[in-house]
């Protein structure tokens, strides 16, 4: 057994992997020589980072522009209450270095974008997508296709998780199906909420992220049968699983350049009337002034009970039936947690003839960040 590339400490650390006949010293060597980029240090990214670091992947990049929030802690298991407010990528790299000092980390404390994706990702052998929004998923996919890099994809929604290995290089020089072979175009804006709006069972991203780590190790070492050309689906409520076969779409035109993915996913609403917005600072002035207005909260009752800013509670799914409770003459300010559900509520009200509704930009999250730090962010 060639031990030249490993110290005695490393050989002891990885001994349980090294004894696997299918893995052995050659598999460990391949891991040590590999460079993996994790996009998003959130619910999926945390378990991926923990297990890839423990397994001995030689170089791990972490790209995330966000900071740790208290609402992250029920699923993002790298972080603790002491990390709230700190950059996720920096905190993750610092903690992971203590888990395995033989792994090198590169921190990209920035948002992955069309401007930096190719430059950032070209230095890696594999990219793992741990994001929760469609613009970034399409961005990661297209950049991987352009760079000929495999993309280990994971996604979660409430109680369901999905995994696949996209753009897997075949022995004949071709590449397997990509994300666009399943989803050539994104869903209409707002149809599929992210975790903040739709919720997620905390253990689910741990399960899916760990399975992503398993697929990454298989791709890097060449062992087993990766989920290339397959989509694994798991329902945590029923524990039912399915594995669907994916084939390449012969009519799909491969990407030739990166796009404006916010625009591609319809989030800029170029062809529709934009919804009027108000900042939390401006709302505070209204509250302190003499102007008459109505404040509507379209979150769920449990969210309202945890924290509210005095609005009338009309959940989004009741907005049409209870529209008679909303003034059609004075200014109506609508808010939710982040501004997504309230925008949907205003669209519904406008279809009913309302022309006086204004969306609170950033919702109660912005209110807690900018006006009242003691407010619970729900």
List residues with catalytic annotation.
195, 336
Say how far apart CA 367 and CA 94 lie, in whole Å: 31
Work out the burial of residue 173: count CB atoms within 10 Å of its CB; fewer than 13 is exposed, 13-18 middle, 19 or more buried: exposed
98 CB burial (10 A radius; 0-12, 13-18, 19+): exposed
Q: How far apart are CA 319 and CA 335, in angstroms?
A: 12
Query: Is there a contact between 187 and 177 (Cβ–Cβ < 8 Å)?
Result: no
CA distance 365 to 197: 12
What torsion do the CA atoms of 139, 143, 145, 151 make, to the nearest 10 degrees?
-70
Give CA separation, 218 vs 26, 46, 215, 293, in Å: 13, 19, 5, 59
Q: What three-state secondary structure class fits 40?
A: coil
Instruction: Please say whether the beta carbons of 332 and 294 come within 8 A.
Output: yes
Within 8 A by CB and 6+ apart from 205, the residues are: 42, 43, 44, 46, 47, 75, 156, 161
The C-alpha angle with vertex 156 and arms to 152 and 157, in degrees rounded to 5, equals: 155
Instruction: Specify the pairing of strand 230-235 against strand 160-166.
Output: antiparallel
**What token pair was written down for 59?**
């170089």
């Amino acid at each position: 057994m060639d031990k030249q590339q490993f110290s005695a400490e490393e050989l002891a650390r990885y001994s349980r992997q090294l004894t696997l006949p299918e893995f052995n010293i050659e598999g460990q060597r391949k891991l040590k020589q590999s460079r993996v980029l994790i996009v998003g240090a959130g619910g999926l990214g945390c378990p991926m980072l923990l297990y890839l670091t423990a397994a001995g992947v030689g170089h791990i990049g972490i790209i995330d522009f966000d900071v740790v929030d208290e609402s992250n802690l029920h699923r993002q298991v790298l972080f603790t209450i002491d990390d709230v407010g700190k950059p996720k990528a920096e905190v993750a790299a610092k903690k992971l270095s203590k888990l395995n000092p033989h792994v090198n980390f590169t921190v990209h404390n920035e948002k992955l974008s069309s401007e930096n994706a190719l430059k950032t990702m070209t230095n890696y052998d594999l990219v793992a997508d741990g994001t929760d929004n469609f613009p970034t998923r399409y961005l990661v996919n297209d950049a991987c296709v352009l760079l000929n890099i495999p993309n280990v994809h994971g996604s979660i929604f409430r109680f369901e998780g999905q995994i696949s290995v996209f753009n897997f290089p075949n022995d004949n020089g071709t590449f397997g199906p990509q994300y666009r072979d399943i989803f050539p175009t994104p869903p209409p804006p707002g149809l599929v909420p992210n975790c903040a709006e739709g919720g997620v069972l905390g253990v689910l991203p741990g399960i899916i992220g760990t399975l992503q780590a398993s697929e990454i190790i298989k791709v890097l070492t060449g062992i087993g049968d990766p989920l290339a050309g397959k989509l694994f689906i798991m329902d945590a409520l029923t524990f039912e699983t399915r594995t669907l076969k994916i084939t390449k779409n012969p009519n799909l035109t491969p990407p030739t350049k990166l796009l404006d993915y916010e625009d591609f996913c319809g989030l800029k609403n170029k062809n529709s009337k934009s919804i009027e917005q108000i900042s939390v600072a401006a709302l505070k002035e209204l509250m302190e002034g003499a102007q008459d207005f109505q404040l509507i909260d379209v979150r769920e009752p449990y969210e309202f009970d945890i924290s509210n800013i005095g609005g009338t509670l009309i959940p989004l799914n009741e907005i049409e039936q209870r529209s008679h409770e909303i003034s059609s003459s004075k200014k109506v300010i609508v808010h939710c947690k982040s501004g997504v559900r309230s925008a949907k509520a205003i669209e519904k009200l406008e279809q009913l003839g309302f022309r006086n509704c204004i969306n609170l930009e950033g919702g109660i999250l912005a209110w807690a960040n900018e006006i009242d730090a003691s407010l619970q962010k729900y």
